[in-house]
Amino acid sequence: MEKRKVQNNDHEVEHKKAKGEDPFAYLHAEQKPMPAVYTEKPVQPKEKKIGQLTQKLVDKLAKKLYDAGKIKNMHEDKDFFTRLTHLEKEFKGIAILLHKQGILPKEFQDLWSDERLLNVVEQLVGPDIAGHPVWNLRTKTPHNEQTTVPWHQDNAYLEPCSLECLQLTAWIPMVDANMVNGCMQVASGGHKAGKTLKHTCCAGGTWYVEMQEKDLDQLGL
């Protein structure tokens, strides 16, 4: 496979790997931000397609629930950012029904295999890249336990035999994410100890595994 062009202007990830240092440290050292991979203008066409696809999925699900008498209003007059919240008030759990669709739509395939995303992945795992079978469309409605993921390590979801394979997770928000509407929190440097902490299942009324925040000191944090 031909080596992809490195995206980072300062090539700092490549430099760290060449010196035998932890390449992941670049992502959190000195609170230095991750270089911009997607900016508004280049990603806009694909983001627009995914937005349109999501609206179609919501339309289809709302009609199915309406025809079944589960909801009285399909809220077709609501915008992309608020419609699911209004539907959730009538039918608890609708956000989760969108979480897993059983197929990987072409619009998501295109984003998943986008060259800019693969360029970042290659810097950390090398040019031999395979797509993991797990993908999710994570909808986030307000005050919803099932769309609020507790503290965990992804390793806790995997079989021990898979832990020798370096696996990356890409989280690409389709709307502006902040502390109010549902951004992601990361325990900076938590990978360095090479440990998978004890997790319990399941958290509350969900299917998520959960680790105790007090156990983070076992990771040297």
CB 198 within 8 A of CB 213: no
Task: Give the residue among 107, 108, 128, 103 at the shortest CA–CA distance from 118.
Answer: 128
- pLDDT tens column, 69-124: 999 999 999 987 789 999 999 999 888 888 776 777 888 888 888 888 888 888 88
State the Rg of the chain over Cα.
Answer: 20
- pLDDT tens column, 14-50: 666 666 666 555 454 444 555 566 555 545 666 677 7
CB 168 within 8 A of CB 124: yes
Residue ranges of E strands in the chain: 200-201, 209-210
* Between 44 and 125, the higher pLDDT residue: 125
Q: Which pLDDT does position 15 carry in this prediction?
A: 62
Q: Which pLDDT does position 37 carry in this prediction?
A: 62
Q: Please state the rounded mean pLDDT for residues 162-190.
A: 83
Residue type present at position 99: H
pTM attached to this predicted model: 0.71
- pLDDT tens column, 132-171: 778 888 888 888 888 889 999 999 998 888 888 888 888 8
Place of tokens 């029904």: 97
The CA–CA distances, whole Å, from 165 to 3, 129, 162, 193, 210 equal: 20, 11, 6, 17, 22
Q: Which pLDDT does position 1 carry in this prediction?
A: 41
**Lowest-confidence pick of 13-17, 125-129, 185-189, 200-204:** 13-17
